[in-house]
Amino acid sequence: MCAVGFGNFIRVLMALGALATATPATAEPGRSNVETVFDAFLACRVDFFDLLARAQADFPAREFRVKENYVGPVWQELRGVPFSAVVNIDDVPLSAYMQRHVETVSGPVLNWGFVANRKPAEVVKMIEARLSGARFASMDARGFELSLDPRPARSISTMPPAESFRSLLVFEGDRPDRTFIFCSASGDNMSELKTDERTGRKRLPPTASLFVLPKTVNEEDAFEAFSRCDPTFFTTLAQAKARFGRVTIEPLFVAAPDGQVGEVSGSTVTFAEPVRAYGLDLTGYTQMMHKKDGKPVAFWWGFRARDDARLAAHWLSERAAETLGKAERTGWGEWALETRPRAHAVGEAAEELAYRVFKVEPSHLPLLTNVLCGATADMMGDMTVFPEPGSLFKQ
């Protein structure tokens, strides 16, 4: 089924937290839309994603959740979308959508599907009734598999063979009356998916393209905006302030991150509890302004993560892949997004380039990593000062 074994898969699902939710009320979707989407899902083909995206109103998303794990050389990402109301298909209530991408040396393994509030045997019976002549095979004591390619059934607790596969999997979730229904496929069986320009391999569509959320802003939205490294981040961060809880704000005086001479001042924000976003545990935020002769030279801002710098660098390369794919890597954990001659600069300043960069480095605080964005003043539009940190975090 996957690259790291069934037991670890369940632990990742539980860590995501998308399963430990109360059963929502029942939605009232268009029956034909739901059946069309679900039948496309049972075929484990790419056209399912287009149909799901067009039926967003029939699959009411409550929130997006993301869990990432990197244990070299295997990287996996799990995305969950709990529904605000269950969606019924033949009296089987679906309470969430989930998808998993495992990237291994031999290629990607892709899983996507639903959480059903029924026992596995009941779900199997429902699917077999919808697929004339289909019969699931038992896999250990954990669940069932319906191979959609002519090959023997596999144990879901073992490493995947280096071969092409496409299957429907039904197995018990975190409790006996909750079931995962997944399509599982090797990347070569999903050739119609878009190719990640950075890795050259197939990727599942982002859940944000498949579902529509209520008009709310959360910590992951803020971190996503951060990956763009531009002033729009601060508006998004202020809108998400409620997600960061209690904070402590202190002044900060440090050396310039770009090594240039001048005065650097700013603020450091410490969160009372770590805030998890895209697999990183964020413990604080920092913003620093570099001035020379009283005028702004550069802005630096970003988060402190309670993670190894390698994981933070991996997150940045994955999360900001679209941006970083066009960037120049200038060193370990450093990317130059944009450089150009400085506008209206004279003297020594005219010899320096304007820049917009990402930087991942160990923090001066033990066991923490800084994930920073930096930009020269002429890359920041009309922005001449940072917003007050209290306006970004305090409620």
Write out pLDDT tens, residues 72-113.
Answer: 777 788 888 999 889 999 999 999 999 998 887 777 788 999
Q: What is the pLDDT of residue 163?
A: 64
Whether 298 and 194 map to the same domain: the answer is no
CA distance 286 to 192: 42
- Provide the number of structural domains found in the chain: 2
Boundaries of domain holding 320: 219-393
For residue 150, cis peptide bond before it (omega within 30 degrees of 0): no
Whether 225 and 372 map to the same domain: the answer is yes
Q: Which residues contact 276 (CB under 8 A, 6 or more apart)?
A: 219, 282
Whether 191 and 244 map to the same domain: the answer is no
The residue out of 179, 209, 239 marking a domain boundary is 209
Whether 256 and 187 map to the same domain: the answer is no
Across the range 373-388, mean pLDDT stands at 89
Across the range 374-393, mean pLDDT stands at 90
Whether 57 and 145 map to the same domain: the answer is yes
CA distance 5 to 2: 6
Q: What is the pLDDT of residue 325?
A: 55
Judge whether 36 lies within some domain. yes
pLDDT digits (tens, 9 = 90+) for 31-74: 668 999 999 999 988 899 999 999 988 999 888 887 777 777 77
Across the range 162-177, mean pLDDT stands at 83
Band of pLDDT at residue 159, cut at 50, 70 and 90: very low
Whether 180 and 235 map to the same domain: the answer is no
pLDDT over 50 (residue 200): yes
CA distance 376 to 371: 17
Q: What is the pLDDT of residue 103?
A: 80
Judge whether 51 lies within some domain. yes
pLDDT digits (tens, 9 = 90+) for 104-127: 777 778 899 999 999 999 999 999
For residue 181 the two structure tokens come to: 């229904």
Helix (H, G, I), strand (E, B) or coil at 373: strand
Judge whether 188 lies within some domain. yes
Q: What is the pLDDT of residue 161?
A: 44
pTM of the model: 0.55
Instruction: Please name the residue that has the structure tokens 């929130």.
Output: 63
Q: Hey, what amino acid is at 274? A: P
Judge whether 77 lies within some domain. yes
Whether 167 and 228 map to the same domain: the answer is no
Q: What is the pLDDT of residue 160?
A: 47
pLDDT digits (tens, 9 = 90+) for 6-22: 455 555 555 554 444 44
pLDDT over 60 (residue 243): yes
Whether 238 and 295 map to the same domain: the answer is yes
CA distance 161 to 60: 36
